[in-house]
């Protein structure tokens, strides 16, 4: 946990620098955090984006994607980048006081230390229905035990799912559950603050045969 202070007020941040409690947000926080994000002064255009992000979050509990924010603000992605040079999630979302995660589920609760811990959470010798390619047929039957065993069968280094793996897995599942769709690899990398090279290292089998399969999702034509 980190802390951030501006105008003699201290704010608690998570390990990634996001406001720990969105309800604690105020305009002073936004001004101070903007300076930390290479935005010296917040213009009306900045505030339009910030207010949109906060309004959506208040109504839905979901941080809107950069695509939705650009459309609502009448901006192109390049124009958004000029307003917030360090990026949408590391810039806009931090200044707006919300996390880019789709849901409010704390990712830490999903990070287990061993396969044995995960087996203890499953229903004994649970059987999962998969198609001929090994994709889970019913996404709702997914659990962490399935993910760990799928990872052991793939080219995940040492068969171990790290924090970054779980962050991607739960992002994919959150989007699917909340928005009833599967994001593409570019949106996933943007939302999880990763580049394609890092993603490839995490999931050597690729996006569809790796990340989606472990997350218990599949594209259905």
Question: Tell me: the pLDDT tens digits for 18-41?
Answer: 899 888 999 999 999 999 999 999
Tokens of residue 86, six digits: 């360090």
Domain range list for the chain = 2-96, 107-214
d(CA 140, CA 196): 28
Q: Which residues contact 148 (CB under 8 A, 6 or more apart)?
A: 112, 115, 118, 161
State the pLDDT confidence band at 107, using cuts at 50, 70 and 90.
very low
Helix (H, G, I), strand (E, B) or coil at 19: strand
CA distance 145 to 161: 11
Rounded CA-CA distance 31/8 in Å is: 13
Choices 3.40.50.10440, 1.10.10.370, 2.60.40.10, 3.40.50.300: CATH for 2-96: 1.10.10.370
- Output 127 or 118, whichever has higher pLDDT: 127
61 Cα distance to chain centroid: 13
Question: Using one digit for the tens of pLDDT, what is the confidence trace for 137-166?
Answer: 999 889 888 898 889 888 787 778 888 899
Output the pLDDT for position 184.
87
State the pTM of this model: 0.54
Separation between Cα atoms, residue 189 and residue 199, nearest integer Å? 7
Alpha helices in 63-156 (DSSP H): 66-73, 77-83, 94-96, 115-121, 144-153
Radius of gyration over every alpha carbon of the chain, rounded to an integer in angstroms: 19
pLDDT of residue 133 exceeding 60: yes
Please work out, in degrees rounded to the nearest 5, the angle formed at the alpha carbon of residue 168 by the alpha carbons of 146 and 131.
40
Average pLDDT over residues 69-79: 85
What does pLDDT average to over the chain?
83
> What's the pLDDT score for residue 37?
93
């Amino acid at each position: 946990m980190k802390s951030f202070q501006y105008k003699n007020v201290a704010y608690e941040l998570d390990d990634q620098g996001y406001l720990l409690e969105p309800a604690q947000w105020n305009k002073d926080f936004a001004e101070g955090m903007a300076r930390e994000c290479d935005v010296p002064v917040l213009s009306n255009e900045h505030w339009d984006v910030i207010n949109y992000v906060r309004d959506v979050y208040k109504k839905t509990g979901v941080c809107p994607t950069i695509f939705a924010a650009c459309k609502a603000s009448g901006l192109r992605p390049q124009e958004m980048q000029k307003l917030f040079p360090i990026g949408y999630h590391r810039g806009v979302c931090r200044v707006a006081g919300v996390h880019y995660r789709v849901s409010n589920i704390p990712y830490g609760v999903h990070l287990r230390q061993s396969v044995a811990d995960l087996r203890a959470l499953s229903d004994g010798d649970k059987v999962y229905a998969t198609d001929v390619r090994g994709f889970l047929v019913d996404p709702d039957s997914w659990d962490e035990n399935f993910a760990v065993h799928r990872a052991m069968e793939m080219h995940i280094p040492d068969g171990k799912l790290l924090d970054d793996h779980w962050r991607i897995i739960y992002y994919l599942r959150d989007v699917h559950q909340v928005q009833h769709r599967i994001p593409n690899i570019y949106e996933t990398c943007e939302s999880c603050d990763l580049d394609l090279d890092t993603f490839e290292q995490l999931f050597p089998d690729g996006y569809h045969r790796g990340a989606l399969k472990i997350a218990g999702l599949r594209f259905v034509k």
